[in-house]
Amino acid sequence: MRILSGIQPSGTLHIGNYFGMMKPSVEMQNNGEAFFFIADYHSLTTLPDPSELRKRVFNVALDFLACGLDPAKALIFRQSDVPEVTELAWILNCITPIGLLERAHSYKDKVAKGFSPNTGLFAYPVLMAADILIYKSHVVPVGKDQKQHLEITRDIAIKFNQQYGKDVFVIPEERIREEVAVVPGLDGQKMSKSYNNTIEIFGKEKEIRSKVMKVVTDSKGLEDIKDPSTCNIVALYKLFASPEQVKEMEDKYRAGNYGYGHAKQALFEVIWEYFAPYRKRREELLADPSYIESVLKTSAEKARAVAAKTMDEVRQTVGLR
């Protein structure tokens, strides 16, 4: 079974990235042939500063390795180090109906938020399809916000196979961890850099504490009984704490005389403790930056060999050879 997942280098990684994509990916590296790419082509839809983009790509690789990705078990590479993916994207563009892309929620949401409606942003699902199909991926872990894009990938793969009468592409299956598919941010919305509501994985202690203290709550006072099922603090706490710790906090909410300040302090403590071993590993990796680059290069060479084989088959199928 081949597993594929990707992440954009759009900024500092946060706990929404960790539980939504990083942790499931690291866990799945033991369950199959794992390919993880850093989507620098995709990031160009928002025109990041070139030097900043290079820095972000490096940091994504660093953070993944610090959080448990094992290069002996999984590949991690720059998307742009496998240029065949853009060739496949063009070929897929030529069979993808405009209407299919016009129905994409992500494009409409981003334009509504002020993103420039460029062609790259519009055709984003086709490049994503190429990312997945070029490695003949069987399983793709995605968040709920990417579910429609994977459905588009499946539609494109089925259309290609039917049009040419040959099963060139594997039809990928989604893998969504429902319980953490959407991690709440400081304001209660989905945690996202776009909303500026994130808690970074490797932020400094003072910064993380400050952010946790900004988690939005209702106006109930210290003495009031509170509902843990509707509280952003509890929702985040559940990601890090043991079932016993969660029950204890919920009981305190229902008993009263337990303020949101107390709950936020408990949340900060479990977050800081949870990532402690990963912070240590990250410091060790930073001592030898050349190791990060060597991992990216070696992984890309292996991924490109797979991609090249697929592209030979695609070119032959569509008449380019």
Residues annotated catalytic, as ranges:
110, 190, 193
**Maximum C-alpha span of the chain:** 75
- For the chain, how many helices (H) and strands (E)? 16, 5
Are 312 and 92 a contacting pair, CB within 8 Å? no
Burial class (CB in 10 A: 0-12, 13-18, 19+), 118: middle
Q: What is the C-alpha to C-alpha distance for residues 271 and 293, in angstroms, rounded to an integer?
A: 29
**What are the strands, taking DSSP E only, across the chain?**
2-7, 33-38, 74-78, 139-141, 173-175
Are 152 and 125 a contacting pair, CB within 8 Å? yes
Residue type at 62?
L
Are 196 and 166 a contacting pair, CB within 8 Å? no
Are 62 and 38 a contacting pair, CB within 8 Å? no
Token digits of residue 123: 């055709």
Are 71 and 299 a contacting pair, CB within 8 Å? yes
